[in-house]
Structure 1
Amino acid sequence: MKAEIVAVHASPAHGFSKQRRDAITLIEGLGVEGDAHAGVTVKHRSRVAADPSQPNLRQVHFIASELLDEVNALGFDVGFGALGENVTTRGIDLISLPRGTRFAIGEAEVEITGLRNPCSQIEAYRPGLLKHMIGKRTDGKPLLRTGVMGIVLKGGIVRANDAIAVTLPEAPLVQLERV
């Protein structure tokens, strides 16, 4: 199976879900044009409260459609964009990638910085869903399953059905952690 984008999303307001778009424009060093989380410094509300000068390592959020398929098979109704992702993917195990992995998507290039941590808003959105968003790694640590975050290295337009070309970083590979 090839790695591809199945849907793209953005929202100008801080909220839980994002609206589906025909295309999104990624802006180098900032994120998704018109999205509330775009910027050089962190825009996530809890992180802004802690330290608004932090660099924004969460410019673009990717989530695997396979995760959504899994929870929907359990009876949850979770559509594309519902968990706040900018890019919904298919055919790639996002959370197993090492830090520094690069995606060439559409006209753009993104570098993966870490895992998205599942927040309590997931439980408010669909009661019982949060426990399915956290697994367990082989070392016993929690496995955050709600996708990966990245920074825009090269801007450009990204659309559904665009292929994802994956380039792994040089060794040593570093496991993704919460970012």
Structure 2
Amino acid sequence: MAEILALCISEKKGTEKVDAGEAEFIEDYGIKGDAHAGNWHRQVSLLSYEKIEEFNNRGISVKFGAFGENIVVKGIDLAKLPIGTKLRIGEILLEVTQIGKKCHDRCHIYYTVGDCIMPREGIFSRVLKGGIAKIGDKIEIDQWNNL
């Protein structure tokens, strides 16, 4: 089972997210207080910790949230999950809706180091069932909702 290492939000789009330690997930909306929440398919973004570490091993150290990710997950290669996969965090249920993304504008990280992993390694989801999550919570592929 995988673990949540960070829960990040930002009030404005196009800015780095900041680790809040916990977050309220709202059904069919996203994370309370996050600029990317709303009635669309990319309500919550997730990035694997292992991919952040690979990036940092190139000699640049980035903080959680720097790539615009809401959730940093240790123990799952998120970009390999198929669209439609359900992820459970306690009572919260997320559905994977998109793998990667096209960057319309280069982010701060790209301009600093010449690369950003979110377009290749990040995934996006919508909130099917809400609740509260905090750092250290377990996140798992929900077998019952993927049958």
> Would you say 1:93 and 2:93 are equivalent positions?
no
Contact kept, 8 Å, 1:61 with 1:147, in 2: the verdict is: yes
Q: 1:84 to 1:70 in 2, by over 3 A?
A: same
Structure 2: segments with no counterpart, 5+ residues: none
Which of 52, 55, 66 pairs up with 2:50? 66
**Contact conserved, 2:49 with 2:73, CA < 8 A, in 1?**
yes
Partner of residue 113 from structure 2, selected from 112, 118, 127: 127
Aligned mate of 1:110, from 86, 94, 108: 94
Task: Report the TM-score when normalising by structure 1.
Answer: 0.74
Return the alpha-carbon distance in structure 2 between the equivalents of residues 106 and 157 of structure 1: 8
Distance 1:77 1:60, change over 3 A: same
Give the distance between the partners of 2:59 and 2:136, measured in 1 at CA.
Answer: 27
Q: Provide the rounded CA distance (Å) in 1 between the counterparts of 2:69 and 2:90.
A: 17
Kept in 2, the 8 Å contact 1:114–1:149? The answer is yes
Larger radius of gyration: 1
Structure 1 portions without partners, runs of 5+: 41-55, 135-143, 171-179
Deviations 1:14-33 (A, max 9, x none): 23310111210000000010
- Distance in 2 (alpha carbons) for counterparts of 1:116 and 1:59: 14
TM-score relative to the length of structure 2: 0.89
Partners of 1:166 and 1:96 in 2: how far apart?
12
Over residues 21-77 of structure 1, what are the superposed CA-to-partner deviations in whole Å (9 max), with x where a residue is unaligned?
12100000000101111111xxxxxxxxxxxxxxx1100000011111001111112
